[in-house]
């Protein structure tokens, strides 16, 4: 039996690809046969991810971009097309780190930054990417939202609001571009073991101890579990899916909690 590569012939732009979830998605996509343009505000991290893909025998480029800047998003789309001849897949992973607080204490600047990166960043890559996806004969858009985009979260208004709006933006893109052969879905992770979670909890052990009981599966998630969902959404395995939110949260939203 010959091996089937789920993303053979695809070209993906992954923003925030220098991060842990973005990096895992980029590398898994490459293993499935896609060529990858890795963009991140941290140049070295983007190049390191692309370098790992190339070392493993794949094709990738890595570059610096700030997704909140229209010209960076336009350039990133152009760079992917120049390098690989087309663009079929957009994965918006980039997200800002926003301090916790309430509407009283969060600065307007921090609020605007969260929306500019988490929401407008996806708007911008889609703005410049959709014409290329259409030119390629169709494609897929995967916006990484969050379980926290579905619920109210104390102290995290900018993050939660931006992710909720990202979910709705994605359904609108799905509506507007179904006839172009473009499918658009969000993927909403639960707490995943990354530096982002560790910043909040200190160590993996502490994160699991504090968060685990809130999950039906009794633990936090792994980046590969998110990358697997992204491969599904990018591939023809999800060919009848658009305008949806794929929740990969270990059962966090399905029940109140084991502890209360
Ligand atoms: N880790 C979790 O538990 C978790 C849970 C739910 C959702 N998510 C979402 O998954 C995504 C990735 O999370 P992660 O844990 O890998 O975080 P991360 O901080 O490792 O990755 C985010 C990446 O985005 C980059 N970035 C930040 N601002 C940028 C900008 N303006 N332009 C371009 N790149 C920028 C960062 O440099 C970083 O590499 C985020 O969208 C996050 O909201 C994460």
- Residue-wise pLDDT for 155-180, tens only, equals 999 999 999 999 999 999 999 999 99
pLDDT above 60 (res 260)? no
Residue nearest to atom 1 of ligand 1 (CA): 192
Structure-block tokens of residue 81: 């097309």
pLDDT above 90 (res 204)? no
* Cα-based distances in Å from 152 to 165, 195, 244, 257: 13, 23, 20, 15
pLDDT digits (tens, 9 = 90+) for 213-226: 899 999 999 999 99
Which residues have a catalytic role annotated? 159
Q: Which position has the higher pLDDT, 53 or 2?
A: 53
Q: What pLDDT is attached to residue 206?
A: 85
Q: Which position has the higher pLDDT, 19 or 207?
A: 19
Domain boundaries, the chain: 11-248
Q: What pLDDT is attached to residue 197?
A: 78
Q: How far is the CA of 158 from the centre of ligand 1 (A)?
A: 14
- The finding on whether 194 has its CB within 6 A of some atom of ligand 1 is yes
pLDDT digits (tens, 9 = 90+) for 63-102: 999 999 999 999 999 999 999 999 999 999 999 999 999 9
Q: What pLDDT is attached to residue 258?
A: 60
Q: How far is the CA of 3 from the centre of ligand 1 (A)?
A: 32
- The finding on whether 149 has its CB within 6 A of some atom of ligand 1 is no
CATH superfamily to which 11-248 belongs? NAD(P)-binding Rossmann-like Domain (3.40.50.720)
pLDDT above 80 (res 2)? no
Q: What pLDDT is attached to residue 207?
A: 83
Residue 211 near residue 240, CB atoms below 8 Å:
no
Torsion of CA 117, 36, 177, 248, to 10 degrees: -70
pLDDT digits (tens, 9 = 90+) for 106-149: 999 999 999 999 999 999 999 999 999 999 999 999 999 999 99
Residue 118 near residue 162, CB atoms below 8 Å:
yes
- Angle between helix 157-177 and helix 121-135 axes, rounded to 10 deg: 20
Q: What pLDDT is attached to residue 259?
A: 58
- The finding on whether 162 has its CB within 6 A of some atom of ligand 1 is no
Sheet architecture: strand order including 60-64: 60-64, 35-40, 11-15, 89-92, 139-144, 182-189, 245-248
- The finding on whether 169 has its CB within 6 A of some atom of ligand 1 is no
pLDDT digits (tens, 9 = 90+) for 29-65: 999 999 999 999 999 999 999 999 999 999 999 999 9
CB atoms within 10 A of CB 256: 7
> Which atom belonging to ligand 1 lies closest to the Cα atom of 17?
39
pLDDT above 60 (res 244)? yes
Q: What pLDDT is attached to residue 199?
A: 80
pLDDT digits (tens, 9 = 90+) for 188-203: 999 999 987 788 788 8
- The finding on whether 144 has its CB within 6 A of some atom of ligand 1 is yes
Structure-block tokens of residue 258: 């084991």
């Amino acid at each position: 039996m010959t091996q089937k590569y789920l993303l053979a012939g695809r070209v993906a732009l992954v923003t925030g690809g220098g991060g842990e979830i973005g990096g895992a998605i980029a590398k898994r996509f490459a293993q499935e046969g896609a060529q990858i343009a890795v963009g991140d505000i941290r140049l070295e991290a983007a190049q390191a991810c692309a370098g790992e893909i190339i070392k493993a025998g794949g094709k990738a480029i890595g570059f610096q971009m700030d997704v909140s800047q229209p010209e960076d998003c336009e350039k990133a789309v152009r760079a992917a097309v120049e390098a690989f001849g087309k663009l079929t897949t957009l994965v918006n992973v980039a997200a800002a780190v926003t301090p916790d607080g309430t509407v009283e204490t969060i600065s307007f600047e921090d609020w605007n930054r969260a929306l500019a990166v988490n929401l407008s960043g996806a708007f911008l890559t889609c703005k410049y990417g959709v014409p290329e996806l259409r030119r390629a004969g169709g494609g897929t858009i995967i916006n990484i939202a969050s379980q926290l985009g579905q619920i109210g979260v104390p102290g995290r208004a900018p993050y939660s609001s931006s992710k909720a709006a990202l979910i709705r933006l994605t359904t609108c893109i799905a509506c507007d571009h179904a006839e172009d052969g473009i499918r658009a879905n969000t993927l909403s992770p639960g707490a995943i073991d990354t530096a982002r979670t560790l910043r909040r909890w200190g160590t993996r052990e502490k994160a699991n101890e504090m968060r685990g009981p809130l999950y039906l599966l009794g633990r936090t998630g792994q980046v590969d579990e998110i990358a697997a969902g992204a491969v599904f959404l990018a591939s023809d395995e999800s060919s009848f899916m658009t305008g949806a939110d794929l929740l990969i949260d270990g059962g966090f939203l399905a029940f109140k909690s084991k502890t209360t």
